[in-house]
Structure 1
Amino acid sequence: MLKSIQEWVLLFIIVGFMVIIGNWLGYEVMPLDAVPGILVLIALSLVGLILHKAIGFKKLPSIAYVGIIALVITLPGVPGQEKIVEWTSHVNVLAIATPILAYAGISIGRSWTDFAKLGWKTIIIGMFVIIGTYLGSAIIAEIILRMQGII
């Protein structure tokens, strides 16, 4: 398990650095303002992964552990809750999603031959899923933004 933790820490440091840069370039949040929030998110993710591995209840995904821990430590009345919320508010969600999507793209690219073996129908279905997800998200965003009077 120690080897897994070392790999996770290294991965989180790399992704954290990319998030800080993306947050700075894309959302004009100064890196020093985002560092405490990134460290909190890294710690939450690491604790969630360790709990998932240690408890051994494999039916519950590791993201559930991370989410539950995050929920508990940000509940009103929990000591330090205000600081955690303040720190993490400086980290834009889209800055986090960019490295994750890049990693997913690299993973698919590495196994492109396996993906191609699935056939042309899978590629077409995948395109429809991506387009449908994008259009669905755009429509929902348009409706919500119009309801709020933002656009």
Structure 2
Amino acid sequence: MNFKNTLFVLIIISILSLVSNFIGYHTSIIESIPGMIILVIICLAGVALSKIIPLKIPSVAYIVLIGCMVTFPYFSFASTISTMVEKVNFLSLTTAILAYTGISIGKDLDAFAKSSWKIIFLSCFIFIGTYISSAIISQIILKLTNQI
């Protein structure tokens, strides 16, 4: 997927997320746009880094790293960025992403059916591992910043 396609998908997801945020959480679309733009910029930067840096690290890792860096309390604009992004509810983002994923899987239903039950088993381990890793990292960061 090239950068232009990534931008196009992010714009579609952003529009769906803004509408979902408005309908589900009654947050004005105008209020949510700055936060959504920040999220799109973070995503684009992560995708760009994954293309530029020669290591085989998924773009989502760069996206998470950039998101953590720009909201770290000692970053100059962290409070401003956090204030803007908090207008975009997390569940409104997942609604659009899951819809897009459903369409993608529906397009390749034969390939999905061939992957068998093993993919469900593997997915459960990945979700559990991601959750536990996130909790450990959060605990460490919160302790280091004296938040807890």
**1:41 to partner: Cα distance:** 0.1
- Summarize the Cα distance change of 1:116–1:78 in structure 2 as closer, same or farther, 3 Å threshold: closer
**1:51 to partner: Cα distance:** 0.2
Amino acid at match of 1:113: D
Q: For 2:73, what is the secondary structure of its paired residue?
A: coil
Q: What is the CA RMSD across the aligned residues, in angstroms?
A: 2.3
Does 2:64 match 1:73? no
Q: For 2:16, what is the secondary structure of its paired residue?
A: helix
The two structures have a TM-score, normalised by structure 2, of 0.75
Aligned to 2:103: 106
Which segments of 5 or more consecutive residues in structure 2 lack a partner in the other structure?
128-148
Paired with 1:108 and 1:22, the residues of 2 have a C-alpha distance of: 21
Q: Please tell me whether Structure 1 or Structure 2 has the larger radius of gyration of its CA atoms.
A: 1
- Summarize the Cα distance change of 1:118–1:84 in structure 2 as closer, same or farther, 3 Å threshold: closer
Q: Choose the corresponding residue for 2:49, options 48, 51, 74.
A: 51
Aligned to 2:11: 13
Aligned to 2:26: 28
* Percent identity of paired positions between Structure 1 and Structure 2: 32
Aligned to 1:96: 93
Aligned to 2:143: none
Does 2:59 match 1:62? yes
Which segments of 5 or more consecutive residues in structure 1 lack a partner in the other structure?
134-151
**1:15 to partner: Cα distance:** 0.7
Counterparts of residues 103-142 of structure 1 (less than 5 Å): 103-118=100-115, 122=117, 126=120
Q: For 2:2, what is the secondary structure of its paired residue?
A: helix
**1:118 to partner: Cα distance:** 4.9
Amino acid at match of 1:108: I
Aligned to 1:148: none
Paired with 2:46 and 2:92, the residues of 1 have a C-alpha distance of: 21
**1:83 to partner: Cα distance:** 0.9
**1:70 to partner: Cα distance:** 1.0
The alignment covers a number of residue pairs equal to: 124
Paired with 2:52 and 2:106, the residues of 1 have a C-alpha distance of: 32
